[in-house]
Homo-oligomer: A and B are copies of this chain.
């Protein structure tokens, strides 16, 4: 079986590159047809891999891709999850090679989606293909469910899973959409932050105003947004949204101790990975606590006024901030959204009206490292990489984990093969190719281990 993988490396790579060339940007309506093409491409791949019932599942939003192999009665059933949609590529001018023309440089494959998440979904597809092509069967039952709205927060998969269709019956989910703690260090992610993504709209005067004629007496929605944002988070990184921290569950002393043993050079993280003069964030918490176990409030963009070249002296009638709150166990998205609404109303400056509009949200998740599906995954990774698997959390949000838990009652095993410098959501996203091959091997071992 491992021979099959080695012999088909070139073909696997060309297949992945073909998939990456499809700009399946789920958040931009003009790319809807590309998103569908990426779904159909995957369906065809799953069919060619030897799975049955490969099909597109339509719904409200970008389609789901489903396929199954259920020829191992009495064995566990895994729900294999990934997503075929990608983030927008802007700012385009910062890409060294175009985002949708995959290019290999120094053992890395550069393209939007290379790591997040086409490359990692490819691991699941090709691991299964290898087993089916060489043995004609799998050691366990599998069901693929791959979505196209992970980056846009669309609700199709949630609605589908919530309808609890019989074809999603499974014992555990496997998700390849996280990263390894360090190159060569096998990693399972046991915790994810949730998210509330919202827009704060501020309305000032009924029309744009000349800042010379009205400046000094007229409210400025951009200034008001700055005031709101600063009122919600202070210079120390503390979030001033009443009630926001109430449900935050601190990590256990054992987990904190394990985090302290992780290889981590804070100075290198600051100077090289980020390239900033100082890290920021809440005093009294380590970087891992700040990014894994503490909630955040971030501004992602402020629209309004004039941002082109040159000078325009306008006081805009309105302005909008795109913001998110990352949530940790046991915060609840709807409650946090309501807390944000109330906090914005409370701190809104005079002269303007502010409104919060939630775009999407997802709960945080935590899984138990002692779960047998997690343990088997850790062993498979350890055997493949030749190093003890570490358990970490991620500060990112994979809403589907909470959805699987809530509606299917199954835990998710997060085996990630991305690297910290893969430039997720940023220009020059890449996937480290050795991790593609080891990832395929580790997943194959995992299925075998679970089938024993």
Contact = CB atoms under 8 A, between A and B. Distances in A.
Interface stretch (A52-60, A97-105, A345-353): A345-353
Nearest to A153: B311
A296 B210 contact: no
A201 B62 CA distance: 38
A184 B308 CA distance: 37
A305 B311 contact: no
Contact of A290 (B91, B216, B305, B312): B216
Given A225-B226, A226-B226, A218 B276 contact: yes
Contact of A277 (B279, B308, B350): B350
A312 B230 contact: no
A28 interface: yes
A186 to B, nearest CB: 19
Task: For chain A, give the interface size range.
Answer: 35 or more
A165 B226 CA distance: 47
A193 interface: yes
A21 interface: no
A298 B213 contact: no
Given A88-B306, A291-B216, A313-B195, A299 B28 contact: no
B306 A217 contact: no
Contact of A220 (B299, B351, B397): B299
B235 A395 contact: no
A338 to B, nearest CB: 19
B310 A28 contact: yes
A369 interface: no
A6 interface: no
14 contacts: A213-B395, A213-B424, A216-B291, A218-B274, A219-B280, A225-B226, A226-B226, A226-B229, A279-B351, A300-B311, A301-B304, A301-B316, A311-B324, A312-B322
Given A208-B426, A215-B324, 13 more contacts: A90-B306, A207-B427, A210-B396, A211-B324, A212-B326, A212-B395, A215-B298, A217-B281, A225-B226, A230-B230, A276-B351, A301-B305, A311-B324
Interface of A: 27-29, 87-88, 90-91, 94, 152-153, 179, 193, 195, 197, 204-220, 222-223, 225-227, 229-230, 233, 235, 237, 274-282, 287, 290-291, 294, 296, 298-316, 320, 322, 324, 326, 349-353, 359-360, 394-397, 420, 423-428
